[in-house]
Structure 1
């Protein structure tokens, strides 16, 4: 996984002056922290359909028939809903290589959730909309990790998004190299501890699904279904409780090699993490030390310990 990962992004988040007011909404995490590891494919749907900058602001507006349209906020001109949908269909059809997408929050074209929907004849609105472009993106590629710039300020959501991006990238690379049952099963095995940290019930369910791989006539159909189930599972944020269970499970691999003092130190670090007085990095670092000292073939292949580059520092604060 040495190649840069292809990720879509709203162009304004990279600092491009494409917004309706001629400005941008540069996202520092995307444009600085994540940028060295990904290859961005920036898109501004509004400019892509021919709108200038600056331009009148757009808004989602519910008409008398109850249909949500993409309209100019000044009330002038016709809705441009169909132009946006037509563009979205065309461009998204060529985005299946992407491993993630970062969209601009609150945007009537790119917002992922809670976009304002206005009433036709007044300023009454409700935060229940999804941007036209992003809605079609998520409908056509439901497995794709999609996140808003504002939500990326949350450390848990930020780590979850990046982990999903890297997981999908590895899955896509495996698929590109030529699908076999062995490769699919080996991929699932590498992610077992990671999946446990996200959802134990879903982990068990996915395990049963993989166990029935021989019953599928089409390996591609199996891979597509597995990809969707995998990415749905990883949408669950890894919890402190689940991480603690995984850490204790890994600890068991070293009980024969560790003396009483070492076992107590490791147990204390895990308990401190469980109680919130130590970050996950603390017990993880000690476990990695024991993994190098007492190698185990199963543990050494687990993505749980290195789900993304350590340089991103995503586990430092929780």
Structure 2
């Protein structure tokens, strides 16, 4: 039985160091906190489970690049997306990010260029899910391996604290590619085709230079043929480093020189850099040989070399 009337409850005596008005405010705030805590405790475990599986479902989405983006891998454009991050090592080399084009079923690998992190520290899972759905786009990329929490209700708060939204810029790289290199086609390639191929390859290096990406050593085995676009590309960006890629132009110059040697049946020449340079100097009346020498010796700006290559009448 309640021994206080409602008016008596509202006028509980305050401690000596507080005015009655201040004490009433404190008492009212404590009542509100208590009422809120009761609502939290009343939350059903199955509701929490349902929210967990909603997040799990979101993180397993795949990106259909064929319908949502006009992507031309040949241009090596940079694309930007918001990314749901559930693993601290997700962007490391240990866990490469693979996305799938749902229409063509081809897989692509992402090479991160820059990362900006916006940490979301919220403890109500509903707000997290609302945040995910309110992104500017709905692309959530899924890697081969993704860290997951145990689907236990006591883990939900930990999950809420760990979720981060990352905005990353990246290049799409062909992950499953042809194993045919330019060496398979040397007998049938004309000088005009070689000219076109190296214009494309140099343009690709210019794009990489804009992003300060340096490839591993480029060899003839690095120039791969792609059946779908009937073109040759350099795709070894997986282990690219940051820096000046001038050495990649030199590598490409040596590749062009080796192709010209093979086409001219100069197979007896030793395959070392000095021998190749000497051969190019003695064959300097050939315009493609001149371009190869310019690339190797770094005697002209790359833009000027591109212009010379474009102007060659083969």
**Normalising by the residue count of structure 2, what TM-score does the alignment of the two structures yield?**
0.29
Q: Report the structure, 1 or 2, having the larger helix content.
A: 1
Structure (1 or 2) with the larger CA radius of gyration:
2
More RCO (CA 8 Å, sep 6+):
2
**Normalising by the residue count of structure 1, what TM-score does the alignment of the two structures yield?**
0.28
